[in-house]
Amino acid sequence: MKIEDLPVSELVRSMVTENRRVIEAVEGQAKQIEEAVNSYVEAIKRGGKVVYFGAGTSGRIGFMDAVELYPTFGVGKETVVPLIAGGIRALASAVEGAEDDLAAADADFESLGANSNYLFIGLSASGTTPYVIRIMQRAKEIGAKTVAITSTPASTVTAIADLSITLDVGEEFVKGSTRLKAGTAEKIVLNTISTISMMKLGKTEKGLMKSLVPMNSKLRKRAVNVIVALTGRSPEEAMAALEKHGWDVERAIGELEKRT
């Protein structure tokens, strides 16, 4: 019987079971993830930037993590820069041959104006993506720290990178489709690295997002709740302070704390 002929219920159970291996793979790289966090924090404290780079699904995962850092922690492209083979248009659709375009990789690297204080995090499930390899090589040339996140041990990127996070997720449920377990593992690792790094950079307090940017009504309500929890002030006082300071949460907290 072909796998496609199995009942949907069995396919669902099988795929969920397969995904359990993702957590095991991530747990097995805890030490390497810790090292990546330390490098991330160090790069930013030195005045450098963190660069995520990848192609296809890996590039989109990097972009997603970077973009979400602004509303969550108030950190934008001045600190964390995402690059994807094929440029912005590759976020919405596949760009033929983009991951093999070394000239574009060089151009993307040059656009950064990078120096040795930068941290480069390359995402490549196969470990052989030419776009990722070229940018990682260029980063090494300027003395910047490099981290590889891959599902393939002893690959080209692991040989180049200063630190490798190798996620042994096994064969994909649909063979060769790295958007599945490999992509999920990359997402978990990058979430872990960036979130803990932001915490260590002082972007949270008591597990709350004190540096969030209230860009919509949901986040404005969250900002009020954060201020109430951290200062013990009323929602009305929190709202007034936020409006006074242009919805800058940290400044609003600072003012209310001075009143105590």
- Helices 30-45 and 8-27 pack at an angle, to 10 degrees, of 60
Given CA atoms 4, 179, 34, 219 in this order, what sign does their dihedral have?
negative
pLDDT by residue (tens digit) across 85-139?
A: 999 999 988 888 899 999 999 999 999 999 999 999 999 999 999 999 999 999 9
Q: What are the structural domain ranges in the chain?
A: 3-200, 217-258
Please give the pLDDT value at position 6: 85
β-partners of residue 80 are 50
Q: Give dist(CA 1, CA 23) in Å, integer.
A: 30
Active site residues: 68, 99
For the segment 137-145, the average pLDDT, to the nearest whole number, is: 98
Amino acid at 198: M
Whole-model pTM?
0.93
Q: What is the pLDDT of residues 5-41, one digit of tens each?
A: 888 999 999 989 988 999 999 999 999 999 999 999 9
Percentage of the chain lying above the pLDDT 70 cut: 99
**Over 90: is that where the pLDDT of 216 sits?**
yes
In the DSSP assignment, the letter for residue 87 is -
Res 179 pLDDT > 70: yes
pLDDT of residue 260: 60
Q: Which fold has domain 3-200?
A: Rossmann fold (3.40.50)
Cα four-point dihedral sign 246, 249, 254, 260: positive
